[in-house]
Structure 1
Amino acid sequence: MGSQDQHAALAARQTPWMNEDLEMFRDTVRRFVERELAPNEARWAEQGYIDRDVWRRAGQIGLLCASIPEEYGGGGGTFAHEAIITQEMSRAVCTSLGNNVHSGIVAHYLLRYGTEAQKQKWLPQMASGELVAAIAMSEPGAGSDLKAIRTRALREQTPDGDCYRINGAKTFITNGYHADLICVVAKTDPEAGSRGVSLVMVETRDLPGFRRGRILEKIGQKGQDTAELFFDDVVVPCSNLLGTQEGQGFYQLMQQLPQERMIIALGAVATMQRAIELTTEYVRQRKVFGQPLGDLQNTRFKLAECKTVTTIAATFVDDCMQRLMDGQLDAATAAMAKWWCTQQNCQVIDECLQLHGGYGYMLEYPIARMYANARVSKIFGGSNEIMKELVARTL
């Protein structure tokens, strides 16, 4: 059985939520990833950001906003469609297109909390790739602790009507370089703690007071632009508030973060599966002491351990997927999936890299790039320490 056949058999055995339509969608996504993304990853890693027109091409084939209703320009699918996109990009070691943030996160904030006018205005342009979206949570002094954010969006009267004046700085913002639409986490009532946090949509084109800082240089995921953003007396209409009233931002974030954490867990599992596949192929070809590396007992045992962990992770994530699609995934279970799968992903990749020997340290080998890319998954989406705290609160 070839490696692709093995992958198909493994996927069919581990993904009970799949069906024939989703398999066809997977084929479309895989072709796009192999044709448009994979050949350019090295170049994008060098320049630090993806080419802007890739967003439009992704929109043309239905890769953007795949789980957003058709009435808003989306694909009319479910979260399963987003899961497949995540899996295929992870499998191909393609991290430059920040679609998980654009489609899996920002689009769903708009769908869930936006007014009808907001949804009609922004979602179709996000689905086509005309607008690139980002969410601005982290700040230089506030990462996982969202209550500590200092960015303010204060209401004031202007000749053009009620507006928010935004002041603050954000960092580690995925899609920050290209972002035309940013969901900014800010305090509309600085004295109210978490009850004073709101989400405000900011359109960046020709916006006075908005500026982008440097593209941040990272150890991994180098082609996915991650930027600093600055808001200096930025004025936006109060109609850009996401939700029906101020002070709902922290609640909105807590409601949507389980989906974000599932996206991270899905990517981790797909990466583990690919790491094992690549390493199995490598150890069959590589000879040491006159025999294939794969014939040594230590090699077989290490790969057996990795496959066992990966199968357990995939089974757990599939169960979480079903719960999410049924509207029953709770925050603690999503936190478990996020922290445990990302932790195991890093360990599995490390074991697989070790079996590559010195070649595993060379960036020309995918396992080396996977090693560098995976590390941040234990930090973003809420650090794994925070995830454990969320789980501990349920004890």
Structure 2
Amino acid sequence: MALIKCNNLNMNLSRIILKSSSFKFRNTFLIRFYSTDTSLNELIKERNSRFGVKPSQMLSKPPFAKNLFLGVFDKDVLTYPELLSADQLKLLLDKLEPIEQYFTNEVKSYDIEHKRKISNEIINTLKNFKFFGLKIPKKYDGQGLNATEYARYCEVIGVDSSISLLLLAHQVLGVQSLLRYGSEEQKIKFLPKLASGDWYAAFCFSEEISGSDLAAIQTTAKESEKDGLRTWILNGSKLWVTNASSANIFIVLALTYSKNQFGDQKHVSAFIVERHYPGIIVGKPIDMIGVKGIEMNEVSFKNVQLTESNLLGDEKGGFKMAIDVLNSNRFAFGAVSLGFMKKLYKLVINHVINRKQYVIDLKDCKQIQKHCSEIALRIYALESMIYMTTGLHDCYENYDGSMENAIVKAFSMEEGQKCVDTCLDLLGARGVVEDESYEKFYRDFKCLSIFDGALDFTKLYIAATGLHHATSEYEDIKKYRDPFNNPTFILKRLFSHRRQANDDPSLNLELFLQLHPSLVQS
């Protein structure tokens, strides 16, 4: 790490430049200007343009989290990714300011729950703010946000769980399926309508028996032929379909069959099913303990006829598509949880400041301070994880951040629940009184946390993905498990790892060179 500090007293300007010696971007500097002289704005802009943090072209990078299973630590992650320049950040914050004010002053979560519906006024406002097309490219009338910008928007909508779930189901599952696997004709046909909010998308994958196990689904799409064209007849039922009552298109996973020398072979295929097709039946809303402003329904398909234009992606690639879509934007759930936790924390802090207990201000109690600091720590950690992950997605071309996304989701689910529990404890009796609406946070977070999969399922995915990535070391593992037939290998490893075995590592990685000088001793 090179540290340069330049002072120019005549211009009243102090500039600090930090450059990581291991960073792969050419001319990449983290620059901060400090000055009270407004006449220096043009100079600062000019220097920012010369030392911008964005490279001229995107570079590729191996996955950080997956490589930890191979014992590989990428030092580049020690330089926190800051993709937005000062002007870009200001522009983003200026865009978000009226949105945050609207959610703070106009969106009443208690009214949404009481009426069990998000009002048309709120929906129209979301359309005006272009919330339905945040990640849809501008060529399809969307906003075309990158991952960092999208996460910041998700943080804003996190203050209301029903609105969050409505938009997550629409964009993270439905829209992303089309963006990643749809043909150009399908994108042109559907994405502009989905970006405007005139159409909603719903993702149908859970079933009564299979749950999160996509390989065990029983909905079928049997191939037939009509007028010389390939067609499929779709039959089956899907549960827990978010936005089902208002969706215009359904992304449906179904079993298809192909013949080979061993007989019929089973595949999972994905289809785009439009609502007006005959044979689609949307059942009654499922009554849940939280997020009552949106509806989840059972959707049945009875002899629904589909053509090749309805096939999404490769006929045999539905399983891979579903896993990819489910994992690609899990950081969005973390960002929503972050907004949720910040709102609750703010309410609890106001309660603590204004409450007395036995003539002592609650805020002066050491135990209360400890609880509040732990909540703040969890919020800070989650926020850092989210924007670290989105920075990696934005920094590198086609970055494989599926494991980072899953880790963010798992951390937000686990630590978020702890935050909610602690906050309700700090509120005392008010935390369980229905009229106070604090208990709504507990119910809503329970429902949010199982969106697109339970915590244990997410943890299992992280472990299985890491082990699968580590298969390149499989030969070494075989030798470890058979030491008597591999004595030379074992002796070499015992010698090379002797310091680690004695808990006395050599500490020769010099990680302090990647950090701020004040952290050298730590």
Normalised by the size of structure 1, how large is the TM-score?
0.88
Task: Pick which of 367-376 and 338-347 moved more.
Answer: 367-376
Q: What stretches of structure 1 of length at least 5 have no aligned partner?
A: 1-13
Post-superposition offset of 1:120 = 0.7
What is the aligned partner in structure 2 of residue 116 from structure 1? Answer: 184
1:270 maps onto 2:339 in alignment = yes
Q: Which residue of 1 aligns with 2:330?
A: 261
Match in the other structure for 2:234? 166
Please tell me the residue identity of whatever aligns with 1:286. R
Quote how far apart the aligned CAs of 1:260 are: 3.3
Query: 1:72-97: CA deviations, max 9, x gaps?
Result: 11113223343223211113555466
Aligned to 1:181: 249
Instruction: Kindly provide the amino acid, as one letter, of the partner of residue 250 in structure 1.
Output: F
Of residues 267, 270, 273, the one that matches 1:202 is 273
Change beyond 3 A, Cα 1:328–1:342: same
Counterpart residue number, 2:316: 247
Deviation sequence 1:53-106 (CA, Å, 0-9, x none): 754542233111122112111113223343223211113555466111212332
Q: Which residue of 1 aligns with 2:407?
A: 336
User: 1:98, 1:174 within 8 Å by CA — same for their partners in 2?
Assistant: yes
Inter-partner Cα distance in structure 2 for 1:173 and 1:221 = 14
CA contact (8 A) 1:209 1:231 kept: yes
Instruction: Tell me which of 279, 288, 297 is aligned to 1:218.
Output: 288
Q: Secondary structure at the residue paired with 1:310? A: helix
Q: CA deviation at 1:366?
A: 4.9
What is aligned with 1:8? Answer: none
Cα deviation for residue 155 of structure 1 reads 2.0
- Within-5 A mapping of 1:82-93: 82-92=150-160
The aligned counterpart of 1:384 is 455
User: For the Cα contact (< 8 Å) 1:189–1:247, is it kept in 2?
Assistant: no
Letter paired with 1:108: Q
Give the distance between the partners of 1:343 and 1:199, measured in 2 at CA.
Answer: 32
Equivalent pair of 1:156/1:164 in contact (CA under 8 Å): yes
1:154 offset after TM fit, Å? 1.9
Give distance in 2, aligned partners of 1:282 and 1:160: 70
Percent identity over the alignment? 25
Match of residue 131, structure 1, among 199, 221, 226: 199
Question: Does the Cα contact within 8 Å between 1:131 and 1:180 map onto a contact in 2?
Answer: yes
The answer to whether the Cα contact below 8 Å between 1:320 and 1:329 also exists between their aligned partners in 2 is no
Q: CA deviation at 1:324?
A: 2.5
Name the residue aligned to 1:102.
170
- Please state whether the residue corresponding to 1:98 is helix, strand or coil: helix
Deviation larger for 175-184 or 315-324? 315-324
Indicate conservation of the 8 Å contact 2:204/2:251, yes or no: yes
Conservation of the 8 A alpha-carbon contact between 2:289 and 2:447 = no
- Corresponding residue for residue 424 of structure 2: 353
If each structure's helix is expressed as a fraction of its own residues, which one has the higher value?
Answer: 1
Task: Note closer, same or farther for the CA distance 1:149–1:218 as it changes in structure 2 (3 Å cut).
Answer: same
Q: Give the whole-Å Cα distance in 2 for the aligned partners of 1:160 and 1:215.
A: 40
Structure 2: distance between partners of 1:92 and 1:347: 19
What do the CA deviations read for 1:325-379 (whole angstroms, capped 9, x no partner)? 3332432222221112111001111101110011111244453222111113442
User: Quick one: structure 1 residues 52 and 214, their matched pair in 2 at CA, closer, same or farther if it must change by over 3 Å?
Assistant: farther
Are 1:21 and 2:91 matched, yes or no?
yes
| 1:324 has 2:390 as partner | no
Q: Which residue of 2 aligns with 1:74?
A: 142
SS at match of 1:156: strand
- Asked whether the equivalents of residues 139 and 171 of structure 1 are also in contact (C-alpha less than 8 Å), the reply is yes
* Residues 224, 233 of structure 2: 8 Å contact kept: yes
Relative distance call for 1:189 and 1:51 in structure 2 (3 A) is farther
The Cα shift of 1:47 comes to 4.2
Partner of 2:369: 300
2:103–2:159 Cα contact (<8 Å) kept? no
Aligned length: 376
1:30 is aligned to 100
* Aligned mates of 1:15, 1:83 — CA distance in 2: 14
Give the letter aligned to residue 380 of structure 2.
T
Instruction: Give the residue type in structure 2 aligned to 1:254.
Output: I
Amino acid at match of 1:272: M
Match of 1:235 among 305, 325, 337: 305
Provide the residue aligned with 2:441 in structure 1: 370
Task: Pick closer, same or farther for the CA change 1:260–1:96 going to 2, 3 Å.
Answer: closer
* The structure with more radius of gyration: 2
- Does structure 1 conserve the Cα–Cα contact (< 8 Å) formed by 2:417 and 2:445? yes
Range 311-320 or range 208-217, more displaced: 311-320
Q: Is the 8 A contact 1:173 1:228 kept in 2?
A: yes
Q: Which moved more, 1:288-297 or 1:215-224?
A: 288-297
What amino acid is the match of 1:246? E
CA contact (8 A) 2:162 2:294 kept: no
Rounded Cα–Cα distance in structure 2 between residues aligned with 1:213 and 1:305:
44
Counterparts in 2 of 1:55 and 1:86: CA distance versus 1, 3 Å: same
Read off the aligned partner of 1:220 and give its amino acid letter: G
Question: 1: CA distance between counterparts of 2:105 and 2:354?
Answer: 27
The equivalent residue for 1:3 is none
Aligned to 2:349: 280
The equivalent of 1:310 in structure 2 is 379
